[in-house]
Amino acid sequence: MIGAGREGGPGVMPLIDMRGVDKVYRMDGVEVHALRGISLTVEPGEFVAIMGPSGSGKSTCMNILGCLDRPTGGTYTLEGTDVTTLDDVSLARIRNRRMGFVFQSYNLLPRTPAIENVELPMIYAGIHDRRSQAKAALESVGLEGRMWHLPTQLSGGEQQRVAIARALVMSPSIVLADEPTGNLDTATASEIMALLDRMSRRGITVVLVTHEADIAARARRHVLFRDGRIVHDAPVGP
């Protein structure tokens, strides 16, 4: 999606453009302000780490970024499309084609072999010839020997790599990773981070939620949430 630049580099439209986004939940009649007018722009190929304490609004922000939830105020423009006004079917389509999700608890389908887990998004995209693409995705995360293993037969790191292959198989523009290393030991976490890093170098935007500083250090931009607001947003590293 190339169009007239606004705030990003000349000639490049930001991939993610959130402006004044609010999210208010109603729980037992009490209003909870999860997000208070946040604005965030992310350019294609960025590797962003979102940090903040529990309840700071970072998960809510991720849900809205991932089109799993709608903001109650403000606008969210994704690749030039205002997604705040889209219906459920269109949002499902965006999640299917443009987004990849990596969760802390892997979220693989139980009793389903790795290869079929990777094929899952393609089923909903209506792709009939799924096997070769799914195989390629598993190979790219180094699991070509584990294709027919069930999630219960895989280690945590392997399960997370299956999840990454699933996130990549539709060639998305954004991968959203919510505490992807939260359940893993340091060495395995490092492997997973290397995979995410490789992805971003290939031009896929990676947005990572974490509260571990050493994990966040692998990203090239840090966004810090507190009480539903962004309190710090700066590039890191050289």
Partner 1 sequence: MNLGVSFRIALRAMAANPLRSLLTALGVIIGVGAVIAMVAIGQGARAAVTERVQSLGTNLLSVFAGAAQTGRIARIDQVRTLTLEDAEAIRAEVPGVTGVSAEFSRQAQVVYLGENVYTQVSGVTPEFQSVRNFKAATGDFITDADIRSRAKVALVGKTVAGKLFPEGDPIGQRIKIRGITFTVVGVMEEKGSAGFSDRDDVVFVPLSTAQRRLFGVQHVRAIHVQIGSSEEMAAAQEALREVLRRRHRLSPTQDDDFTIRNQADVLQAFTSVSQTMTVLLGGIAAVSLIVGGIGIMNIMLVSVTERTREIGIRKAVGARRRDILLQFLVESVSLSVTGGVIGVGLGIVGSRLISRFAGWTTVLSAQAILMAFVFAVAVGVFFGLYPAQRAARLDPIVALRHE
Contacts of 123 (CB under 8 A, 6+ apart): 130
Number of residues engaging partner 1 in binding (CB under 8 A) = 27
Interactions with partner 1, residue window 139-178 (CB under 8 A): 166, 170
Among 6, 82, 85, 125, binds partner 1 (CB under 8 A): 125
Piece in contact with partner 1 (CB under 8 A), picked from 12-20, 43-51, 88-96, 222-230 = 88-96
Cβ closest to partner 1, residue 13 vs residue 175: 175
Compute the least distance from the CB of residue 30 to partner 1, in Å: 18
26 binds partner 1 (CB under 8 A): no
Residues in contact with 114: Cβ distance below 8 Å, sequence separation at least 6, in sequence order: 108, 138, 143, 146, 147, 148, 149, 150, 151, 154, 162, 165
Give whichever of 4 and 128 is closer to partner 1, judged by the CB atom.
128
DSSP code of 179?
Answer: S
Pairing state of beta strands 99-102 and 205-209? unpaired
**Choice from 1, 20, 80, 123 touching partner 1 (CB under 8 A):** 123
Three-state secondary-structure class, residue 94: helix
> Is residue 28 a contact point for partner 1 (CB under 8 A)?
no
Which position among 8, 24, 41, 68 is part of the footprint of partner 1 (CB under 8 A)?
A: 68
Q: How far apart are CA 155 and CA 145, in angstroms?
A: 13
**168 vs 224 by CB, closer to partner 1:** 168
Q: According to the binding rule CB under 8 A, does residue 92 interact with partner 1?
A: yes
Smallest gap from Cβ 140 to partner 1, in A, equals 18
| Side-chain half-sphere CA neighbours of 107 within 13 A | 13
Of 183, 215, 226, the closest CA to residue 55 belongs to 226
- Asked if 205 interacts with partner 1 (CB under 8 A), we say no
Indicate the residue among 95 and 218 with the shorter CB distance to partner 1.
Answer: 95
95: contact with partner 1 by CB under 8 A: yes
**What is residue 165's three-state secondary structure?**
helix
Q: Does 66 participate in binding partner 1 (rule CB under 8 A)?
A: yes
Pick the closest to residue 159 from 123, 207, 107, 203 (CA basis).
107
Distances (CA, A) of 224 to 13, 51, 168: 23, 5, 26
Residue 129, interface with partner 1 (CB under 8 A)? no
Pairwise CA distance, residues 20 & 11, whole Å: 24
- Footprint on this chain of partner 1 (rule: CB under 8 A): 63, 66, 68-69, 88-89, 92-93, 95-97, 101, 103, 107-112, 120-121, 123-126, 166, 170
